[in-house]
Amino acid sequence: MDFSKALGAAGCVALLACGGSKPPVAAPAPQANASNAGPSAQSTTPTPSNVSISDEIRSKCGIPDADAYFAFDSAHITSMDHSPLDLVVKCFTKGPLAGHSVKLVGRADPRGESDYNMTLGQSRADAVGVYLDARGMAKGNTQTTSRGSMDASGTNESGWQHDRRVDVMLGN
């Protein structure tokens, strides 16, 4: 590859990493979007990943507390996400919540256009849904939706980091 092609490729990667015009797209997944998803009445506590697992699920499944969230403009599941999500799959396939459904609500920080944040939140929820399905969740037991930045409360990077997550809740 010559220098100009390499420079062009690096420029494209930099543009995508810095937030181009479209949010990142997760691997395609069948989705059952919940309609009229309002703010969660279920309490959630962050886990060591990009997900916030509801207190109800954590207590029934024995999932520990901790904290971390999605990077800016990202729907990428990190290695830190694997452990708590694997515990969710185990609990919903062989544990106390076997046969129940999971509701995944994608969220974004308040920066960016409303439509963009809704799409980014949906991409985050879909990424978690794809991961759960690939690990053995029963097809149709995973519902995804987005709240975008509708419930975002951050006013600085620390708060915005908290806004970038997927809430994992007991489904209908």
- What pLDDT does residue 77 have? 85
pLDDT tens per residue, range 48-64 = 456 788 989 989 998 87
Q: Which residues contact 144 (CB under 8 A, 6 or more apart)?
A: 29, 31, 32, 33, 34, 104, 105, 106, 122, 125, 126, 128, 129
User: Structural domain boundaries of the chain?
Assistant: 25-170
Does the pLDDT value for residue 37 go beyond 50?
no
Cα torsion 23, 26, 27, 31: sign:
negative
Q: Which CATH code of 3.90.950.20, 3.40.50.300, 3.40.640.10, 3.30.1330.60 fits the domain covering 25-170?
A: 3.30.1330.60
- What pLDDT does residue 49 have? 52
Cα separation of 149 and 131, whole Å?
A: 23
Higher-confidence position of 24 and 40: 24
pLDDT, mean of residues 115-131: 95
In the chain, the percentage of residues whose pLDDT exceeds 90 is 48
Does the pLDDT value for residue 8 go beyond 50?
no
pLDDT tens per residue, range 65-93 = 665 567 777 888 888 888 889 999 999 99
- What pLDDT does residue 69 have? 63
